[in-house]
């Protein structure tokens, strides 16, 4: 069986800041959140296919308001050191699957026929997935916010390890989203949707 492709999805400032005090550094980017929801939910096949998987660290899970979790219409997998020894064969829809390694998360997704796997943060789990990831969907936030948590992968510059920014058409084709050339502005905050892939 072909290995699952892993896509990281993240919103980050120019300095690659992603979090502050256990939550997002910004508020009110509703269209950005809607993009995240659509892209992580949209499956490859039209109907009858299993949902996509979203893999996250326990702290990111905790940061989601209880009324919005598990993230609906997606298989939620949480990485934590306090996971049961064996993930359940079928998790109840109201609970995430808890595992202690990324490999267990991927094995679970594979066993359940999942086609698209997204790693949705935070920094510790992006770092864990860095070597295996083939794609990063980056929302580039063009404003400085105070941050204490940073995206750990260098996509550009001298320390980058073979990542290439794809065209807007490529982003459209992969995400199914109509990406505006000049980006979006919400709450005085400008941002762009980008896609980076390994060479």
How is residue 26 written in tokens?
A: 């910004």
CB 116 within 8 A of CB 94: no
The footprint of ligand NDP on residues 63-102 (CB under 6 A) is 63, 79-82, 100
CB atoms within 10 A of CB 133: 20
Site string for ligand NDP, 148-177 (x = CB under 6 A): -x----------------------------
Closer to ligand NDP by CB, 75 or 99: give it: 99
DSSP state of 50: P
Q: Which neighbouring-strand residues pair with 98?
A: 78
d(Cα 100, Cα 178) in Å, to the nearest integer?
A: 36
Closer to ligand NDP by CB, 22 or 49: give it: 22
Query: Is 122 one of the binding residues for ligand NDP (CB under 6 A)?
Result: yes
Report the Cα 84 to chain-centroid distance in Å.
Answer: 24
Pairing of strands 184-186, 189-198: antiparallel
Among 70, 77, 121, 153, binds ligand NDP (CB under 6 A): 121
Residue with tokens 């009858």: 48
Closer to ligand NDP by CB, 41 or 50: give it: 41
Among 41, 43, 124, 134, binds ligand NDP (CB under 6 A): 124
Sign of the torsion formed by the C-alpha atoms of 162, 168, 195 and 21: positive
Pick the piece of the chain touching ligand NDP (CB under 6 A) from 20-28, 37-45, 162-170, 175-183: 20-28
Return residues touching ligand NDP (CB under 6 A): 10-12, 18-19, 22-24, 56-60, 63, 79-82, 100, 120-125, 149
């Amino acid at each position: 069986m072909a290995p699952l492709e892993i896509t990281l999805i993240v919103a980050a400032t120019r300095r690659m800041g992603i979090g502050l005090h256990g939550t997002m550094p910004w508020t009110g980017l509703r269209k950005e959140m809607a993009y995240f929801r659509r892209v992580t939910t949209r499956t490859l096949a039209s109907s009858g296919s299993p949902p996509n998987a979203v893999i996250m660290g326990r702290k990111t899970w905790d940061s989601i308001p209880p009324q919005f979790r598990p993230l609906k219409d997606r298989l939620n997998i949480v990485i934590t050191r306090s996971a049961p020894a064996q993930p359940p064969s079928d998790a109840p829809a109201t609970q995430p699957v808890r595992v202690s390694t990324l490999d267990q998360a991927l094995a679970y997704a594979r066993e359940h026929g999942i086609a698209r796997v997204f790693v949705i943060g935070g920094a510790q789990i992006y770092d864990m997935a860095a070597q295996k990831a083939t794609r990063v969907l980056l929302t580039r936030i063009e404003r400085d916010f105070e941050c204490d948590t940073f995206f750990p992968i260098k996509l550009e510059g001298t320390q980058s390890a073979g990542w290439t920014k794809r065209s807007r058409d490529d982003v459209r084709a992969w995400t199914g989203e109509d990406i505006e050339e000049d980006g979006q502005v919400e709450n005085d905050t400008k941002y762009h949707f980008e896609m980076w892939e390994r060479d």
